[in-house]
Amino acid sequence: MRKKFIAGNWKMHKGGKEAIEIAKNVKEGIQDDKVDVMIAPPFTAIPDVGRTLEGGFVKLGAQNMHFEEQGAFTGEISPFFLLDFGVKFVILGHSERRKIFGEVDDLIAKKTAAALTFNLTPIVCVGETLSEREEGKTFDVIERELNTIIPLIDKKKIVFAYEPIWAIGTGKVATPETAVEVHKFIRGKLGDIGQDIRILYGGSVKPENAESLLKEEEIDGALVGGASLNPESFLSIISTARSV
Ligand code: 13P
């Protein structure tokens, strides 16, 4: 049985006192580990948020990282630095990194391999654009994105997130049927180990639609953007994950 996992991706939002306040509220709202919970603040808030989460059940994540331990990589953050602050998870291959920052499959695979080496659990994002979906290319795109990652899978230490790009930040959540169809496709590609690997859904997950998605056995949790910035909404999604 795969444990549900609710992960918050703050993207380029929140810093300073506000970040600490949100982390504190989320920490106080989670009193056991029935559901796994993670928040990924911007890099600059990681030290404060990490300290705030200490002694609680909420895990710390990062939104990206470089694949080398150190070197002449201006503006980059090494996996090794993240470990210092208690980071356990790292989101890799988010569609915003692929689209805006030109990250390609090979780079994402290198980062995934590095995360596993450093004992960080990668949350690898895959998903199609609206035009790819309309042209019937959804499964081709996802298969291509998975191809470089599948050989790296190390027991259960990897998480996937299906994030259809047309659903991110648009309020247009995928129907449970659409998400389940893609999750099944991904799991099928993973082979036997697929039964043990968690696949989250991301894209406009809100308290109002969380139950319909999370009650599906195929959907092992959610990668939440906007709604993770509000502790009340985020805790409500977690509470739904506990009850389904
Ligand atoms: P929204 O929940 O804001 O649509 O963002 C989803 C996402 O990109 C999480 O990584």
Q: Are the beta carbons of 221 and 200 closer than 8 angstroms? A: yes
Look up the pTM and report it.
0.97
CA distance 231 to 240: 14
Q: Does 204 sit in the ligand 1 pocket, CB within 6 Å? A: yes
The CA 222 to ligand 1 mean position distance, Å, reads 9
- Give the mean pLDDT of the chain: 97
| The predicted structure's pLDDT at residue 156 | 72
Query: What are the residues whose beta carbons fall under 8 Å from the beta carbon of 32, sequence distance 6 or more?
Result: 57
Whether residue 11 has pLDDT greater than 90 = yes
Q: Does 171 sit in the ligand 1 pocket, CB within 6 Å? A: no
* pLDDT tens column, 48-76: 999 999 999 999 999 999 999 999 999 99
The CA 10 to ligand 1 mean position distance, Å, reads 9
Q: Which helix (H) or strand (E) holds 236?
A: helix 231-243
Q: Does 205 sit in the ligand 1 pocket, CB within 6 Å? A: yes
| The predicted structure's pLDDT at residue 40 | 98
Q: Which of 205, 169, 228 is nearest to 19 (CA)?
A: 228
Domains of the chain, start order: 5-243 (3.20.20.70)
Q: Does 163 sit in the ligand 1 pocket, CB within 6 Å? A: yes
Q: Are the beta carbons of 41 and 14 closer than 8 angstroms? A: yes
The CA 228 to ligand 1 mean position distance, Å, reads 9
Quick one: angle between helices 16-29 and 231-243, nearest 10?
A: 30
Angstrom CA distances, 201 to 28, 53, 86, 90, stand at 25, 24, 25, 16
| The predicted structure's pLDDT at residue 1 | 83
Whether residue 157 has pLDDT greater than 90 = no
